[in-house]
Amino acid sequence: MASFQTLPGFREFYPDALARRNHLFRLWRQTAHTFGFAEYDAPVLEPLELYKTKSGDEIEAQLFSFTDKGGREVALRPEMTPTVCRLVGERANALKRPIKWFSIAEFYRYERMQKGRGRCFFQFNADIFGEPGIEAETELIALLAQNLCAFGLNESDFYIRLSDRNLWFYFLEALGFDEARSRSLLSAVDRFEKLGDEAFRPDAEQFGALDEARKTQVLAFLHIKSLASLETLVSSLGGDKLRSRLDDWKRLLRNLEAMGLSRFVEVDLGVVRGLAYYTGFVFEAFDRKGELRALAGGGRYDNLVGKLGYAELPAVGFAIGDMTFALLLEQRGLMPNLIQAPDVYVVIGGPEERLAAFADIHALRAAGYRVDYPMRELAFGKQFKAAAESGARLALIYGTDERAKGVVKLRDLTERSEREVPTTHLLAEVRGFFDGSS
């Protein structure tokens, strides 16, 4: 065996795997178009600086970065968000608002490998710029849900956990924490699901121990899973900021209900998202059985465009990853069998017949039919076997007899019936066969 192997965590796509990947991309793209999103693309290699402090410590530690031959510090993109902010920031004045954009692209993170996690993966990203209100969240959560439903998944397969970093900050402020302490506590909350109580250990948490009474309050908030309990808590704490934020929640949930999406969305303040730039509503999609890592994640990030040096521009977005998504589809039996069968298989006699067949093969392909034939001369028996195995519905037979009569034999490989047609009518006959009119 040769010793050149794929790098750990990198993926090769043999044709069957690529057909499955294309299936995801096709439906994601189609769905994004139905929501009026426009597609963009950008470089895979970016200045390292773009991710420093902007994406957060976790992603920064996972960068594939190096110095290029010109002495530039560069990194393979670990995510699209800083890049799309640059694209939009550069042309902010020229772009019609709201800016609704999507992309499908590959990303690189030096992560510990596990099921559904690799070092390179694809994401579908969708973002809206220029819309400060919950209308943007409505649109994006709807797109996220539809991007999963388009494959036949439903509310028993996945759900979207909805949370809010603003609400967390207002809540922690009401408990008397300053912003730096609140940030540190939110990273502890982010780790709580994985680590449990450990996440709040004084040495794990930058700003020292949390007293028991506060910890109980923080844990109670983290466990809120309904609008009703959120309302109860907000009314017990009071405060204008919290109350007006609760109104945003109600409007957002009402919008989603009107779209018929309540069955997918669950209030869950245990989600805060690890990326550094989120500022408001945040959400993550998971499989219902809880067997897989996150399917998708996103939220509002109103400061990032400004932080990159452009005029401030409100933004919300999310990304779906291809790896957990494909695993879920396979688990649910929703990954179709994507055999790339030809429409027509051509069976050819001798060298003279081959030349006659070539003219028709090319004309049929130019007309859009998938046509295959044996590259080498083979006995008829072997060719018929190949035709049957190819999955084609129609075989065209070019034998010596047929050539002498100026005909081609059409064999319906499903019905096992045959008939001869004049060579001059071949294209019309093949069309008729596939349109069902002959």
Using CB under 6 A as the binding criterion, the count of chain residues that bind ligand HAM stands at 23
15: its two tokens = 């044709």
SS (H, E, C) the chain: CCCCCCCCCCCCCCHHHHHHHHHHHHHHHHHHHHCCCEECCCCCEEEHHHCCCCCCHHHHHCCCEEECCCCCEEEECCCCHHHHHHHHHHCCCCCCCCEEEEEEEEEECCCCCECCECCEEEEEEEEEECCCCHHHHHHHHHHHHHHHHCCCCCCCCEEEEEEEHHHHHHHHHHCCCCHHHHHHHHHHHHHHHHHHHHHHCCCCCCCCCCCHHHHHHHHHHHCCCCHHHHHHHHHHHCCHHHHHHHHHHHHHHHHHHHCCCCCCEEECCCCCCCCCCCCCEEEEEEECCCCCCCCEEEEECCCHHHHCCCCCCCEEEEEEEHHHHHHHHHHCCCCCCCCCCCCEEEEECCHHHHHHHHHHHHHHHHCCCCEECCCCCCCHHHHHHHHHHHCCCEEEEECHHHHHHCEEEEEECCCCEEEEEEHHHHHHHHHHHHHCCC
Contacting residue, 192, 318, 373, 398, with ligand HAM by CB under 6 A: 318
Instruction: Point out which span in 122-130, 258-266, 398-406, 415-423 binds ligand HAM (CB under 6 A).
Output: 122-130
123 vs 217 by CB, closer to ligand HAM = 123
Contacting residue, 37, 86, 105, 118, with ligand HAM by CB under 6 A: 118
Contacting residue, 56, 89, 280, 298, with ligand HAM by CB under 6 A: 298
Judged by CB under 6 A, does residue 280 bind ligand HAM?
Answer: no
18 vs 388 by CB, closer to ligand HAM = 18
Judged by CB under 6 A, does residue 103 bind ligand HAM?
Answer: no
101 vs 177 by CB, closer to ligand HAM = 101
Judged by CB under 6 A, does residue 58 bind ligand HAM?
Answer: no
Judged by CB under 6 A, does residue 164 bind ligand HAM?
Answer: no
Instruction: Point out which span in 113-121, 128-136, 164-172, 414-422 binds ligand HAM (CB under 6 A).
Output: 113-121
Judged by CB under 6 A, does residue 127 bind ligand HAM?
Answer: yes
Judged by CB under 6 A, does residue 321 bind ligand HAM?
Answer: yes
Instruction: Point out which span in 121-129, 142-150, 249-257, 260-268 binds ligand HAM (CB under 6 A).
Output: 121-129
272 vs 387 by CB, closer to ligand HAM = 272
Contacting residue, 31, 125, 217, 383, with ligand HAM by CB under 6 A: 125
Contacting residue, 46, 56, 74, 81, with ligand HAM by CB under 6 A: 81
Q: How far is the CB of 337 from ligand HAM (least distance, A)?
A: 24
**422 to each of 109, 349, 416, 418, how far by Cα in Å?**
60, 17, 20, 14
Q: How far is the CB of 324 from ligand HAM (least distance, A)?
A: 5
Judged by CB under 6 A, does residue 214 bind ligand HAM?
Answer: no
Q: How far is the CB of 355 from ligand HAM (least distance, A)?
A: 51
Phi, psi of 267 (to 5 degrees): -65, 130
Contacting residue, 89, 280, 314, 317, with ligand HAM by CB under 6 A: 317
161 vs 411 by CB, closer to ligand HAM = 161
- Using CB positions, name the residue nearest to ligand HAM: 321
Name the site residues for ligand HAM (rule: CB under 6 A).
79-81, 109, 111, 117-118, 121, 123, 125, 127, 275, 294-298, 317-319, 321, 323-324
